[in-house]
């Protein structure tokens, strides 16, 4: 048994039975990071000393007989766009290379209060703009299942860390698919909660009407346990929903009898890898065998979601990223006058894709183009949302592929930004509608994991957690473990990048 | 919709970005391809459709206008590239 393969709830049992200590567990994860992260490159910062201190605190409380919550003493990682007090938070951008937040994001605060142990901060596409983690201002992360492949993005470091046994679970953020795509590519579970379910306080903003934080985990129970900690109203985020949060573990019931699952035909059309289509079909059959009822539905505006997203998200980003001006924090490039200082700082601090999106958004919002682009996109957003509303009159949840293909090769899509954007075609509509969705591994294609996506009604994460749990219990396809179990030597010889 | 290197220069100025001539040409190319792809939106009939800026049915969120605990000045200034007398310092404005 290797500690770096197990789930949080399995490790929690070992901790509770005093078979291991949190310090031992944390040391095992730090060792694993040392062994494999030279190849995977999931972490931007490893907080070894702090992690061991937190682990010792958890052990101390346990030794004193305190009753600890489920994630106490469990080593985890966070995407580097969530503020961690006293720990560098760079957003994988040169412009924040030296930024040390003076406060914790709400999710950080809640995880630490729950006793989770922070191993470090994970790599990502700069400012969460990208689908492969190749847009990091520091280095690209690799897919632990095949080092030639990308891990997906933008939460690629978080997904790769969980898949490679470098963290038990991790947090990511999802604006257009940035939790679900890397989850699918790396063979782990990723949940994007309903917009407003998890506080965005302390999350560095990309597109504020779309951003949402969620877990990357090894199984559905861990996913539910993390949600129990991070979900809930927060008065410091005015878009946080003032609603009661259920105990998500209550939805881990192996029963989907009568559940109505819609299969949107627009997600299963042209451009879908035939083997991925096969796995989605098999997931539908698995749910049917367990008593769910699958039926075809239509979301006719699906094809318009991606172009609408690439107007709305850059428009919001162009405004959000105006704050990086070399005055209050981050990089400053000196110049004689203030406008040159702004321009030089931003030109040297931002990477190519971030500049592209800032300019795209500035253009879409500029006088003369606002109605044609931004207003049009917001109207299309209404239609995309309405499609989902109509589908949910008939269905409890929807089943789609998370991505039309498994992970692509490093460098395959970097030359053409539009081709890269199309990687998110199955995930983006969900963000526009603000509804929850999760990606769960289901089979592999040519050795690379495939994810299927379950989409739910607003604030009904419970139903997709229940459907995901049924898939997990009904098959052995949802935990592609090779990347976790391979020794470093086997790994290095089998997949030379 | 194609966008010229000159238009890119204008948008870059609005965005407070400086680009080399080569960058301007390259961005003109990629941004044109993206904007052309977006033309597909013109095929959607959106007459009478209300825009969605935000998905939640939340209106303004108010709180009492009361001083609450906030960050200490030293912490606020801790990341400043340059400070003086408890203020952020910037190059001359006029």
Contact A436, A475 (CB under 8 A): no
Tell me what pLDDT residue A483 has: 56
List of chain B residues whose C-beta atoms are within 8 Å of the C-beta of residue A238: 58, 61
Active-site pick, A79, A192, A413, A457: A79
Maximum CA pair distance of chain A?
A: 71
A345 occurs within a structural domain: no
Q: What is the ipTM of this complex?
A: 0.96
A439 occurs within a structural domain: yes
Average the pLDDT over A463-490 and give the result: 77
Tell me what pLDDT residue A433 has: 98
Active-site pick, A154, A155, A158, A240: A154
Q: What is the pLDDT of residues A223-278, one digit of tens each?
A: 999 999 999 999 999 999 999 999 999 999 989 999 999 999 999 988 899 999 99
Give the Cα-Cα-Cα angle B17, B21, B27 (nearest 5 degrees): 65
Least CB-CB distance to B44: which of A99, A375, A380? A380
| CB spacing of A434 vs B56 below 8 angstroms | yes
Q: What is the CATH number of the domain that holds A435?
A: 3.90.1300.10
- The single-letter DSSP state of residue A79 is E
- Distance in angstroms (rounded) separating the CA atoms of residues A290 and A285: 9
Tell me what pLDDT residue A485 has: 54
N-term to C-term CA, chain B: 39
Q: What is the pLDDT of residues A282-309, one digit of tens each?
A: 999 999 999 999 999 999 999 999 999 9
Known catalytic residue at A367: no
Name the residue with tokens 């107007």: A311
| CB spacing of A327 vs B61 below 8 angstroms | no
Average the pLDDT over A3-25 and give the result: 96
Residue of B7, B8, B40, B44 for testing the chain A interface, max A β-carbons within 10 Å:
B44
Closest CA to A482 of A473, A474, A490, A472: A490
List of chain A residues whose C-beta atoms are within 8 Å of the C-beta of residue B12: 359
What are the residues facing A203 on neighbouring strands? A82
Q: What are phi and psi of B35, to 5 degrees?
A: -65, -35
Q: Which two tokens stand for residue A476?
A: 């052995």
Contact A161, A42 (CB under 8 A): yes
Q: How far is CA A188 from CA A33, A218, A401, A409, A481, in A?
A: 18, 5, 14, 19, 9
Q: Say how many domains are in chain A.
A: 1
| CB spacing of B40 vs A350 below 8 angstroms | no
Least CB-CB distance to B93: which of A338, A358, A418? A338
- Distance in angstroms (rounded) separating the CA atoms of residues A57 and A47: 15
Specify the length of chain A in residues: 497
Q: What is the pLDDT of residues A404-438, one digit of tens each?
A: 999 999 999 999 999 999 999 999 999 999 999 99
Contact A301, A387 (CB under 8 A): yes
CA distance B86 to chain A (A): 12
Contact A76, A119 (CB under 8 A): yes
Domain containing A429 equals 3-301+382-494
Q: State yes or no: pLDDT of A496 exceeds 50.
A: no
Specify the length of chain B in residues: 94
Known catalytic residue at A178: yes
Closest CA to A184 of A174, A196, A194, A197: A174
Known catalytic residue at A154: yes
| CB spacing of B17 vs A375 below 8 angstroms | no
Q: What is the pLDDT of residues A127-144, one digit of tens each?
A: 999 999 999 999 999 999
Tell me what pLDDT residue A119 has: 98
H helix and E strand count, chain A: 17, 11
How distant is the alpha carbon of residue A206 from its chain centre? Answer: 14
Q: Which two tokens stand for residue A65?
A: 């007989």
Report the percent of chain A where pLDDT is more than 90: 93
A350 occurs within a structural domain: no
Mean pLDDT, chain A, as a whole number? Answer: 95
A346 occurs within a structural domain: no
CA distance A22 to chain B (A): 32
Q: State yes or no: pLDDT of A495 exceeds 50.
A: no
Tell me what pLDDT residue A466 has: 98
| CB spacing of A327 vs B54 below 8 angstroms | no
Q: Residue B64: how many CB atoms within 10 A of its CB?
A: 5
Closest CA to A101 of A392, A369, A415, A328: A328
Tell me what pLDDT residue B21 has: 96
Q: Phi-psi bin for A297: left (phi > 0), alpha (psi -120 to 50), beta?
A: beta
Q: Can you list the residues of chain B whose pLDDT is less than 70?
A: none
Confidence of residue A474 (pLDDT cuts 50, 70, 90): confident
Q: What is the pLDDT of residues A339-391, one digit of tens each?
A: 999 999 999 999 999 999 999 999 999 989 999 999 999 999 999 999 999 99
A328 occurs within a structural domain: no
Confidence of residue A210 (pLDDT cuts 50, 70, 90): very high
CA distance B69 to chain A (A): 12
Contact A460, A388 (CB under 8 A): no
Q: State yes or no: pLDDT of A481 exceeds 70.
A: no
Tell me what pLDDT residue A497 has: 37
Active-site pick, A131, A155, A158, A178: A178
Give the Cα-Cα-Cα angle A249, A250, A256 (nearest 5 degrees): 110
A373 occurs within a structural domain: no
A136 occurs within a structural domain: yes
Tell me what pLDDT residue A28 has: 97
Alpha helices by DSSP H, B4-82: 5-14, 21-38, 73-77
Tell me what pLDDT residue A1 has: 59
Of all residues in chain A, the one with the smallest CA distance to B30 is A417
List of chain B residues whose C-beta atoms are within 8 Å of the C-beta of residue A421: 34
Q: State yes or no: pLDDT of A480 exceeds 90.
A: no
A365 occurs within a structural domain: no
| CB spacing of B44 vs A303 below 8 angstroms | no
pTM: 0.96
List of chain B residues whose C-beta atoms are within 8 Å of the C-beta of residue A195: 55-56
Alpha helices by DSSP H, A218-337: 220-230, 274-289, 302-320
Q: What is the pLDDT of residues A153-192, one digit of tens each?
A: 999 999 999 999 999 999 999 999 999 999 999 999 999 9
Least CB-CB distance to A346: which of B17, B30, B51? B17
Name the residue with tokens 């005093």: A18
- Distance in angstroms (rounded) separating the CA atoms of residues B36 and A361: 15
Tell me what pLDDT residue A491 has: 46
| CB spacing of B11 vs A362 below 8 angstroms | yes
- Distance in angstroms (rounded) separating the CA atoms of residues A177 and A313: 12
Contact A29, A161 (CB under 8 A): no
Average the pLDDT over A324-334 and give the result: 97
Average the pLDDT over A204-229 and give the result: 98
Q: State yes or no: pLDDT of A494 exceeds 50.
A: no
Q: What is the pLDDT of residues A381-394, one digit of tens each?
A: 999 999 999 999 99
């Amino acid at each position: 048994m290797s500690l770096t393969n197990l789930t949080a709830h399995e490790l929690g049992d070992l901790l509770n039975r005093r078979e291991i200590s949190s310090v031992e567990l944390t040391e095992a994860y730090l060792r694993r990071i040392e062994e494999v992260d030279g190849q995977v490159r999931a972490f931007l910062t490893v907080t070894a000393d702090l992690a061991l201190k937190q682990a010792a605190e958890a052990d101390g409380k346990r030794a004193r007989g305190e009753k600890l919550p489920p994630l106490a003493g469990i080593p985890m990682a966070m995407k580097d766009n969530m503020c961690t007090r006293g720990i560098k938070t760079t957003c994988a951008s040169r412009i924040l290379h030296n930024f040390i937040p003076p406060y914790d994001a709400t999710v950080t605060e809640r995880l630490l209060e729950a006793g989770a142990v922070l191993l470090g901060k994970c790599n990502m596409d700069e400012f969460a703009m990208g689908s492969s983690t190749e847009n990091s201002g520091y280095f690209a992360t690799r897919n632990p299942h095949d080092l030639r492949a990308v891990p997906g993005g933008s939460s690629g470091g978080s997904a790769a860390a969980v898949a490679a046994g470098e963290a038990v679970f991790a947090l990511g953020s999802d604006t257009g698919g940035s939790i679900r795509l890397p989850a699918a590519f790396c063979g782990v579970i990723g949940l994007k909660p309903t917009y407003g379910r998890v506080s965005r306080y302390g999350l560095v903003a990309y597109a504020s009407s779309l951003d949402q934080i969620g877990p990357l985990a090894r199984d559905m129970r861990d996913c539910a346990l993390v949600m129990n900690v991070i979900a809930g109203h927060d008065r410091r985020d005015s878009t946080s929903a003032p609603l009661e949060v259920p105990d998500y573990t209550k939805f881990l019931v192996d029963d989907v009898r009568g559940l109505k699952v819609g299969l949107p035909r627009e997600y299963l059309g042209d451009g879908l890898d035939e083997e991925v289509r096969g796995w989605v079909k098999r997931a539908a059959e698995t749910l049917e065998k367990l008593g769910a009822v699958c039926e075809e539905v239509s979301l006719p505006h699906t094809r318009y979601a991606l172009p609408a997203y690439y107007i709305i998200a850059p428009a919001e980003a162009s405004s959000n990223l105006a704050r990086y001006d070399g005055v209050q924090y981050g990089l400053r490039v000196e110049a004689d006058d203030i406008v040159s200082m702004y321009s030089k700082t931003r030109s040297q601090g931002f990477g190519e894709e971030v500049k592209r999106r800032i300019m795209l958004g500035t253009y879409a919002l500029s006088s003369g183009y606002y109605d044609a682009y931004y207003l049009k996109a917001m109207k299309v957003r209404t239609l995309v949302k309405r499609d989902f509303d109509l589908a949910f009159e008939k269905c409890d949840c929807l089943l789609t592929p998370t991505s039309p293909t498994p992970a692509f090769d490093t460098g395959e899509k970097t030359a053409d930004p539009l081709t890269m954007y199309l990687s998110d075609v199955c995930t983006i509509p969900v963000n526009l509608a603000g509804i929850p969705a999760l990606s769960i591994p289901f089979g592999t294609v040519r050795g690379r994991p495939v994810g299927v996506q379950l989409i739910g009604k607003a604030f009904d994460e419970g139903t997709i957690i229940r459907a995901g749990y049924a898939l997990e219990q009904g098959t052995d396809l949802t935990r592609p473990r090779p990347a976790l179990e391979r020794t470093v030597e086997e790994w290095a010889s089998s997949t030379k990048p | 919709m194609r966008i010229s290197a000159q238009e890119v220069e204008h948008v870059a100025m609005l965005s407070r970005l400086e680009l080399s001539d080569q960058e301007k040409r390259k961005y003109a190319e990629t941004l044109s391809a993206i904007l052309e792809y977006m033309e597909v939106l013109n095929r959607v009939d959106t007459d009478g459709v209300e825009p969605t800026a935000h998905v939640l049915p939340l209106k303004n969120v108010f709180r009492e206008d009361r001083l609450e605990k906030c960050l200490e000045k030293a912490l606020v200034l801790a990341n400043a590239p340059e400070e003086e007398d408890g203020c952020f310092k910037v190059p001359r404005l006029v």
